[in-house]
Amino acid sequence: MSQVKTQKTAEIQKGDESLRATVTHTQAYPEPSILAEYEKVKEGFADRLIKMAEKEQDARILREDRKISLFHKRENTTRWGLVIGLLAVLPIYGISIYTISIGEATIGASILIGSTIANLAGVFVIRKTGLFDDKKEE
């Protein structure tokens, strides 16, 4: 059961002038007077409506909890991915800097450029294949 919208309108007219006021209430349950009318139609019907609203609210809370949990999981995965990526790249950059420092600039630059291109290509391939696409868990 979604939100119940109740509207009350009052209109006052005095000569050529009129004033209209509308009050709108949005709530999870119908007003008690409306529930009493439902109860007149069939006994226990109002109770069923309230139980339905409570079940929907519980389901909504569960969905929100799942979204929050998935957000934290994504955040944690991203953090670990950054750490692992950094640990994988640092030795390669260290080797290329060492190679450049001993006078082999061409080899060092080749290692540096090649590893950068390989890393970028790996990121694009992983994103394209959806290997780490956790949207499907929602």
Amino acid of residue 44: G
Q: How far apart are CA 85 and CA 119, in angstroms?
A: 9
Q: Collapsing DSSP states into helix, strand and coil, what is residue 10?
A: strand
Total number of domains in the chain: 1
What are the DSSP E strand ranges found in 15-137? 17-27
Q: pLDDT tens digits, the chain, 138 residues: what are they?
A: 455 566 677 777 777 777 777 777 667 677 788 888 888 888 888 888 888 888 988 998 999 999 998 888 888 887 887 888 888 888 888 898 899 899 989 998 998 888 888 888 887 887 777 655 555 554
CA distance 105 to 18: 88
Quickly count: other Cβ atoms within 10 Å of residue 11's Cβ. Answer: 9
Of 11, 35, 14, which Cα lies nearest the Cα of 23? Answer: 11
Provide the domain limits for residue 94. 4-137
Start-to-end CA span in the chain (Å): 22
3-state secondary structure of 25: strand
